[in-house]
Each structure stands twice: as C-alpha cells, then as structure tokens.
Chain A
C-alpha cells in the first residue's frame, strides 16, 4: 500500500516544486465544416466546437480536484484552417471572419487558447494558404484566444523559401497591428519545420488531417521538480545526474498519463498522446534555465550549455517514454525566453544571445521561442533567422520553430511585458548584417539527401 513518504513526495512536488499538468488539449477535426458559403462554414465551426468541447473545462477542473494536481490550461486545437476555409474564402477578410468565429467559440467554452489558424506550406502555397497567411496580422489583432502557426518546411520536402520570405513580413505586420498591446499578436504566431500534428502546446497546436475526429492530448511539465531532484545530487557524476533526471521525468509523465486517460474516459474522446515536456513558467523555480544552472553552469548560455541541454532533453525522453503508452507532440525541454525567469536573468546578465539560443535549439524540443527583438528589425532579417532555424530542423529531422516578437518602438535595453504565462522579456540584439540578396531569391531549398529513405 502507498506509504506516507510516497504521498509526501508527490504532494511536495505539487505544492513546493510547481508540478502541474500544463495542458489538456482537445484536438478537433473541422473537415466536416467545409462549405462553399463562408457564413455556413462559420456556423458549422461554431456549432461543432461548442458542442464537442462543451464539457472540456469542467472536466479538467474535476480531474484536478480528484487528484489534487493543478491542470493549468484547457485548450482546443483544430484542423488547419486554410484547408477548411479554402472552398469559401475569397479574400483575407473571409479568413478573418473564421478567426473571429473560432475566438467566439473558444470564449463560449471557456478555454485559454485555440490553435489551428494554420497553413502547411512545406512545398508550396495554395491560393487559400496564401490568403490565410496574409490574413494573420488582422486575425491575431482582432481576436484574443486564437493562435496561428505555419509549417514552412520538412525533412521530406525541404524548405519553402517563398513562404519564409513572406512570414518575415507577416510577423512584422502582426507586431505593427498589435503595437498598442506590446506586439502581443506575435506571441500567438509560430512558424515550424517538421511540425507535429498532435502537439498540445500553444501557439503551435493544430489537429492534423491524419488524426481522428476528436482526440485528447496532454502536455506535462515540471522543471521545478527536476531542479529540486538535482539539488540533492550536487557534485555527483554524470551517471547519477542522468539517472536522477530519468526517474523524475518518469514520475512527472505518469501524472500526465493518468490525467490523459481520465480525461479521455470522462469526455468519451480517444486518448492521443502525452507530450513529455519540461515547460517553464515565469514563476520562480519553474525554470529550465535553473536546471542548467543546477547542473553546474553559472548562467544558461555559458560554455557547456548545449551539452547540458542535450543531456537533459535526452534523459527526459528516456524517463518519459516508459511512463506513457503513447508519446508524441514536441516532447523535450522548452527554452522560451520570456516564459522562464532563469533565461531572462541570463539574457540580462549578457550570458545568453540569439546565436547561443540557436545552437541550443539543435538539441532540444523546439526552437527560438518567445524572443523579443528590436522593432526596427528588417523583414528579411527575420526571414533569415527563420531560414536558419528551419534548416536546423530539416537537416536534423526534428521539429524546430521560431516565435520572435519584434517590439515596435522599442530597442535593445528595453523590456516588454506580456503578462500571465507569457511573462516578460528583455529585447535582445540581432545580427545587423544583411541577408537581403539571399532571402529575396525565389523558390525552395530541396530536401536533404538523407531524407531519401525509401
């Protein structure tokens, strides 16, 4: 039978080390909402979401109560909207209409965010894809809860450089359209290569076309728990360090598996995956950067950071894989800047640069995340940063992403405040040398030779 020591260990993880389930995300297919009439599309989308997700939030709260574990977010991901609106949308305003419908539906069911205002354009853009992408600045400035993502490349397809060039401009336009709200629109917009279609985390969640009608995906978290476990093995060898991370990741993931199964049973929706992630929050002690420091670095960004992060990421997966029957999504350590107090401290101390973050993205789950850059950064420079990150993902057969926020009217040395889980960020300098002539070439970068596996 469970003993007092085990009960206290679990409850201390929850109460002292910020263990939580970061999100229960209900993936919903909207393929049956397609129509040739834009108003009908919107009506069908609203009806489907408000019907299928009617009990999502209360179910999350009930599970949280039963097990005494906080479930921070309840969210929805939907089929990429370029596929759903393509038959009806004649212009960008039609897509914005769909975005507003999604926002209204998300508000009605009470979720924190809804993801899937997305287009997948690895090899090229359809007319609908391009309309959706061009509507993003208006859509994100006129909605609160909608998140947008664009997949620009994959290991199998290469990188669509026309879309990379366009997204540099779209990110800047989104910043300009939400300049009165600290450019918050860009915090809800992410570009990917090799985007997973079962990711429960925002802003990049969407419900892929290979998924069932509805599915429950759960994202766990627990950087504070890992940090506390490592604080008890200071000075120990690497084997002990790795074993400690693995065991802790196992325990954290088991909670995610339990919550996912319970949510699936209560909502009568199939269980999809658990995303084994160390997702930080701005709360003190809930930081991935602090884990790196606990391993022996003065700040995240110091020499050795990439190696420490690679080890952390791998051990989290090794511990987590056995704890869940289905693992998916992004699965690994997240390294957002604004959402992690330890990362913010590292930037302010001058220890962490965009270039070092880029190196770190080669070995962790996603990419350049929640990085505030000067508002006068050129669109081509943003596209250059995106292209570099997409290339890392394409060559290494992993997901990479870029979520940068050009903060209009502010420069290096200033700060920007997003609030809540999105945190705040010091504005980081970007390389000022031009890549215009490279980015202005048209076409795409071919798939790498090691993608030809058939």
Chain B
C-alpha cells in the first residue's frame, strides 16, 4: 500500500469533491478515508488514498492535482503519508 494524503483548501464551491474523486477514480486510486470541514466559508478537506493500485507516478499525481486545484480555485496538495506519521506517531 502506498498511502498519500491529499489536502484541499480554498473557498467553498460546488463540485470540489466530485472533481477530485473523479480524477482519482479515472486513475485507479482508491480512497481510504475522507474528512472535511468548512470554517468561515473556507473548504478544508483531507483524503487518505492508496496509490498502490495505480500506474500513475507520484510526481504526475501531484502535478495533475495542482492543475485541477488551479482550475477550480482551490489549493490541492499531495504528500506521502510518512511525513505525518513521523511527526505525529512514535
């Protein structure tokens, strides 16, 4: 399993989750967990996904998500899970 954390931050608008999920489904990337909040109109979402089932390279995934984010006016980051595990788990 290759876990990647995708975060989406920006002004709330229709179809943010749909766009990201469609992209992931098209590329055979399985979503393991989603959590989301809206704070003063700002959309804040985190997804844990598994890239193990996809042919995509990590760098391409990150670039594609950047482009989708730019298109819908939000910031999308993809980061490998280890940085969060290292920092928050002993």
Contact = CB atoms under 8 A, between A and B. Distances in A.
Interface in B26-45: 32-33, 35-37, 44
A157 to B, nearest CB: 39
Given A7-B5, A7-B46, A11-B7, A2 B80 contact: no
Given A1-B48, A3-B35, A8-B44, A67 B80 contact: yes
Given A2-B48, A67-B82, A251-B87, 9 more contacts: A2-B5, A2-B84, A7-B5, A10-B84, A10-B88, A11-B77, A67-B79, A257-B86, A258-B82
A68 B37 contact: no
Given A3-B35, A8-B44, A66 B86 contact: no
B84 A65 contact: no
Closest 10 CB pairs of A and B: A68-B79, A67-B83, A254-B86, A2-B84, A6-B88, A258-B86, A4-B35, A4-B46, A251-B87, A66-B80
Interface string B1-14: 00001010000000
B84 to A, nearest CB: 5
6 contacts: A2-B85, A7-B84, A10-B88, A66-B58, A69-B83, A258-B86
B18 interface: no
A255 interface: yes
A66 B79 contact: yes
B81 interface: yes
Q: Is the interface of B mostly helix, strand, loop or mixed?
A: strand
A344 to B, nearest CB: 31
Nearest to A7: B46
B86 A6 contact: no
Given A7-B7, A10-B83, A255-B83, A2 B88 contact: yes
Nearest to A68: B79
A251 B89 CA distance: 10
Given A7-B46, A8-B44, A251-B87, A65 B59 contact: yes
A322 to B, nearest CB: 8
Nearest to A8: B44
A6 B83 contact: no
